[in-house]
Amino acid sequence: MSQNTTKAERDLRLWMAVSAVLYFTGGMVFLLLPRPLLTVLDSLAAPFHLGTVLPGAMPAERFWNLLAFSMAMTITTASVMVVRDPSGNRDFCIPVIFSKIASWLSALVYFALVSRAFAHLVIFLVDFPLFVLTLVFYRRARMAAKYSGLTQKGG
């Protein structure tokens, strides 16, 4: 990281490092432990009087777990690119932001209109805050770099 890195870019770097760990871990769970994950989520549904996704979720859900793993590895890579150079690579946050928008929005609509399963609500409850935090850190870093560039040029 260069000496010209702003505090907002250092904060973005830290957030994206945390994000990379979260996305990698989540992706590995999607790939290797889909049934235990759904079992845990289903066990938490009863207190909220919400539906479950098992037993009917397997094996059809396995197809989607593989795609979820692929998406998780893609946003892990994008996050790592930001960590490596938050000043030069901060725009790698954009695919992460859009993946989180797609995830929480589709999960919320699916939960509201199709399935009252707790597992679908959890996607929203997890991905919406990740979207907001990533967007906030990205915008702060972008604005700080823009302001820093103006002050360095005398404007």
What tens digit of pLDDT does each residue of 74-100 get? 999 999 999 999 999 999 999 999 999
pTM confidence score: 0.88
What tens digit of pLDDT does each residue of 32-51 get? 988 898 889 999 998 999 98
Which amino acid is present at 64?
W
Place of tokens 């079992």: 39
Domain ranges of the chain: 7-152
CB within 8 Å of 37: residues ≥ 6 apart: 29, 30
Could you tell me the two tokens for 113?
């209109």
Higher pLDDT, 2 or 20: 20
